[in-house]
Amino acid sequence: MAHTSIINLPTAPAIVGNVALWKPSRTAVLSNYYYMKLLQWCGLPAGVINFVPCTGVDMSKYVVSHPKMAGFHFTGSTGVFQSVWKQVGENIASYANYPRLVGETGGKDFIFAHNTADIEPLVAAIVRGSFEYQGQKCSACSRAFVPASIWPVVEKRLKEQTATLKVGDVQEFDTFMAAVIDKASFETCKGYIDRAAASPECEFVAGGTYDDSKGWFVQPTIIRCKTPTYESMVKEIFGPIVSIYVYEDDKLDETLAICDSASPYALTGAIFAQDREVIVKMEKALRNASGNFYINDKCTGAVVGQQPFGGARASGTNDKAGTALNMIRWVSAHTVKESFCPSSAIAYPYMTEA
């Protein structure tokens, strides 16, 4: 599970009366362990939430296939969630109940600008939304669409702002970006950068370099893509790389349709415009492209209790973690009727002649 979900995933089912098994991500075991210790310090009874660091294979073999598994609350990759769903389907006849499957998986989150957008907030949203936490958030901006008429000034400001970002040790408070989480993530980012460097469809606006001599560091990278379906515009990367497609101003409708359909995901998205009629039009065109939608704000940073979080399509089941909508998924409803004036009649009134 991702860091952003460590609180909700094991505790939501437990709060409404279930026993939970908590399998942390292999790259987040330590932080998850400390949170488990905090729960115990706060008085969590033993056996309610059970912290079980293990391999995914063992989780599938011993837990997902167990007849008493009543639900699976997941944050992670789309591929893993699909494999779990498949395994549940194959074992459906052996469960005591039909398991509840709730997943928040991948994303290819977007920022879409109109030519009436305020430049500085747009630039800030792209830079911060793409590069904070090294882009390792499911809601991080990973692609952007910018109209040609404002692109020159947007490009200039993106270069200037990205150049100010300090990449280094997180113990230094002025550091904006650290290393990516592990070697596998580094190699993924490196692959996208290398292929973009070799492709005639791409040019670097910023970054495009990396260094693993000490840690796994990828510089904040902005790629301008000549086509909106180039791989870095449609595939999830989960790193500090954002791809931008510059569209002709008179191709707004066409480009909105591409943004909606080019990626299988639908997690978060944002639009920037000052024309209210255009805002309404863009929101309508992109209503199915994200579960969390932002107007004149970055596409990341949902606040629990204020902005229920989740997405649909390949991004998950959209059960809105952190809200009552999610909690209901872990409850088995029980309806009771008591009659204080029980009827002794058998025949219904319409059956009797007047």
Mean predicted confidence (pLDDT) in 8-27: 92
Which token pair is 122?
A: 């747009």
Give pLDDT tens digits for 227-274. 999 999 999 999 999 999 999 999 999 999 999 999 999 999 999 999
Residue 278: which CATH number?
3.40.309.10
> With 50 as the cut, is the pLDDT of residue 25 above it?
yes
Task: Using pLDDT thresholds of 50, 70 and 90, give the confidence band for residue 5.
Answer: low
> With 50 as the cut, is the pLDDT of residue 3 above it?
no
Please tell me the predicted confidence (pLDDT) of residue 221. 98
Same domain, 263 and 195: yes
Coil, strand or helix at 323: coil
Helices 119-131, 151-163: crossing angle, 10 deg rounding: 50
| Residue 228 falls inside a structural domain | yes
Same domain, 27 and 46: yes
Same domain, 218 and 152: yes
Give pLDDT tens digits for 196-218. 999 999 999 999 999 999 999 99
Please tell me the predicted confidence (pLDDT) of residue 2. 40
Residue 185 in contact with residue 216, Cβ under 8 Å? yes
Interacting residues of 348 by C-beta distance below 8 A, sequence separation 6+: none
Q: What is the mean pLDDT of the chain?
A: 94
Least confident of 61-65, 171-175, 207-211, 306-310: 306-310
Tell me whether residue 42 is one of the annotated catalytic residues.
no
Same domain, 249 and 288: yes
> With 60 as the cut, is the pLDDT of residue 1 above it?
no
% of the chain at pLDDT higher than 90: 88
Strand 109-113 relative to strand 49-51, pairing: unpaired
Least confident of 1-5, 26-30, 113-117, 285-289: 1-5
| Residue 160 falls inside a structural domain | yes
Tell me whether residue 138 is one of the annotated catalytic residues.
yes
Please tell me the predicted confidence (pLDDT) of residue 8. 83
- The residue from 42, 54, 90, 104 that is catalytic is 104
Same domain, 150 and 264: yes
Same domain, 115 and 263: yes
Same domain, 84 and 149: no
What is the domain range of residue 279? 109-295
Give pLDDT tens digits for 148-199. 999 999 999 999 999 999 999 999 999 999 999 999 999 999 999 999 999 9
- The residue from 132, 138, 225, 259 that is catalytic is 138
Same domain, 251 and 231: yes
Q: Spell out the alpha helix ranges (H) of 75-118.
A: 78-90
Residue 57: which CATH number?
3.40.605.10
| Residue 343 falls inside a structural domain | no
| Residue 350 falls inside a structural domain | no
Total tally of structural domains belonging to the chain: 2
Q: Spell out the alpha helix ranges (H) of 74-229.
A: 78-90, 119-131, 151-163, 183-198
Same domain, 167 and 262: yes
Task: Using pLDDT thresholds of 50, 70 and 90, give the confidence band for residue 92.
Answer: very high
Mean predicted confidence (pLDDT) in 103-125: 97
pTM of the predicted structure, to 2 decimals: 0.92
% of the chain at pLDDT higher than 70: 98
